[in-house]
Amino acid sequence: MKCAVSDFDRTLYVNGAVSERNIEAVKQWQRKGNLFFIATGRNLASIKEQLGFFDLEPDGLILNNGAAIMDKEGKLLLCRIIEKKTALKILRFLHELNEDGSGVSMTDKKINVLSSSGTTTQKACDGVCRIDQIEGLESILQIHRRNKDEAYIRRLCKVINERFDQVSAFANVWNADIVAKGVDKAAAVHWILNRRPDIDEVRVMGDSANDAGMIREFHGVAPVWASAEVRQTAAGVLNDAAELLEDSCPSAVCFEFRKN
């Protein structure tokens, strides 16, 4: 059995839509008996909202950059949270930086932590809280920070990684995604493969820094519009996600990888 894992934003979901070509390619792939997973930095509510607009039913979801994995029925298979003391330290540190505000994805919801002026760059979600209320936040999968200065996001992730050794921060275009150390999309794919011995080939695709580890680990591919850093990491560059699912696509053979 083959398994394909695609990033969502700017890989499968491009310019505000999943193309008919990509939708049909995924369906055809699944009709052949193969598995299709989406790997995203989004939380469950956010990705379900987007998928609701398109006729797509992935076989599983890798959420919050690998902090959670769900099957197609919505059952939580894996959950790796940030240690609470560390998460609260990071939130307080971020609060002192500027007025961006933070997002906090938990196992059951997402809450926005407002800046000192009551603002946030995060999209509306399940609720808001002030920085003096964060002690009530539990089971934190991921901390989000958003700023339209991509260079700033890269610098912020570097600072977080240097300052807090219990987490990993990934620059995802305008988003800084902060998860527990050891959590990433590559680790999530490994987790799936270790529990599905019937999978003998895996194909992965992504466009951003938070996809680089997955691409590197599984000889994955990137879309032509991916950052130069990601394209240099990739084994190939494709025009769209549909090409990932074609028989001629360059891909790693999972069985050969797992034997080593």
Q: How many C-beta atoms lie closer than 10 Å to residue 179's C-beta? A: 26
Domains of the chain (ranges plus CATH)? 2-79+184-259 (3.40.50.1000), 84-180 (3.30.1240.10)
How far apart (Å, rounded) are the C-alpha atoms in residues 106 and 194? 25
Phi, psi of 214 (to 5 degrees): -65, -45
Average pLDDT over residues 151-179: 96
How far apart (Å, rounded) are the C-alpha atoms in residues 252 and 228? 21
Segment 112-122, tens digit of pLDDT? 999 999 999 99
Q: How many C-beta atoms lie closer than 10 Å to residue 64's C-beta? A: 33
Name the 3-class secondary structure at 82. Answer: coil
Q: Which of 70-79, 198-207, 250-259 has the lowest mean pLDDT?
A: 250-259
Look at residue 255 in the predicted model and tell me its pLDDT. Answer: 41
Segment 12-64, tens digit of pLDDT? 999 999 999 999 999 999 999 999 999 999 999 889 889 889 989 999 999 99
Segment 117-153, tens digit of pLDDT? 999 999 999 999 999 999 999 999 999 999 999 999 9
Look at residue 130 in the predicted model and tell me its pLDDT. Answer: 97
Instruction: Name the residue among 203, 232, 149 with its Cα closest to residue 2.
Output: 203
Average pLDDT over residues 142-169: 97
Segment 62-115, tens digit of pLDDT? 999 999 999 999 899 999 999 999 999 999 999 999 999 999 999 989 999 999
Contact 90/180 with Cβ under 8 angstroms?
Answer: no
